[in-house]
A = this chain, B = another copy of it.
Amino acid sequence: MLYNLGLIAVFVFAITGVLASAPKTQNIFSLVVLGLITSVGGGTIRDVILMVPVFWLTEFIYVWIAIAGSIAAFLLFRQLQRSINVLLYLDAIGVSIFAIEAMNKSYSVNANAGVAVIMGLITGIGGGILRDVLAGRPNLLVSQDLYASPILIGCIAYPILLRLLPNPETSQLVAMLLIFLMRAAAIHWNLRMPNWLHVKPTEAGQQKSDV
């Protein structure tokens, strides 16, 4: 079931990737490339750093699904733009699956919990960041959206849950649910990072810190 949900997630990522890129580039070729990068970019960086074969070299179905999602987004652009909220929730499901699955993959090559958390995060946000850099949009790291923090919290919770709960399947499900619920809350109430988690650099200091 997770495998099928993973394929749906790739499809949804490609759609949101195309919708996010369309203000910057409108031709189908660039949109398909950016949709594909949004879908498989994070997992590609993860696999390269872990030195395991990049997943879509052996499971090319992921590329086909991402291309299909991108073309669907191109053809049904206005309809999908109107249902962007539904897509955001589907994206939240996808990202929670991807992040925890990335941690399982890291554990399977004997990575420690810290590495696994980083891989969960890279897989969750890497594709979207790559897309934004290539499309010339402000990326997650400079936006105010609560996107990465829910993933980080869920990824940190997972190794703890693995110790507390009786079986790995439950831990995995709880960690995914945790990410999804935090992300859904952020979408629903349009949550932002609280103010005390921000620095307020002085104007003068900003210029001097230009290293």
Contact = CB atoms under 8 A, between A and B. Distances in A.
Interface of A: 16, 19-20, 22-31, 33-34, 44, 48-51, 53-54, 56-57, 60, 63-64, 74, 77-78, 81-82, 84, 87-88, 91, 111-112, 114-115, 118, 129, 133-136, 138-142, 144, 148-149, 152, 193, 197-202, 205-206, 208-211
A34 B31 CA distance: 26
A197 B28 contact: yes
Interface centre among A28, A129, A205 (most CB of B within 10 A): A205
Contacts of A201: 22-23, 26, 77-78, 81
Contacts of A25: 141-142
Given A28-B198, A60-B112, A210-B20, A33 B148 contact: yes
Number of this chain's copies in the assembly equals: 3
A81 B208 contact: yes
A29 B77 contact: no
B205 A78 contact: yes
Given A22-B201, A88-B211, A141 B30 contact: yes
A140 B33 CA distance: 11
B209 A81 contact: yes
Nearest to A67: B114
A27 B198 contact: yes
Nearest to A75: B199
Contacts of A84: 208-209, 211
A112 B84 CA distance: 35
Contact of A26 (B23, B135, B198, B208): B198
Contact of A134 (B64, B141, B148): B141
A29 B81 contact: no
Nearest to A153: B29
A69 to B, nearest CB: 14
A81 B134 contact: no
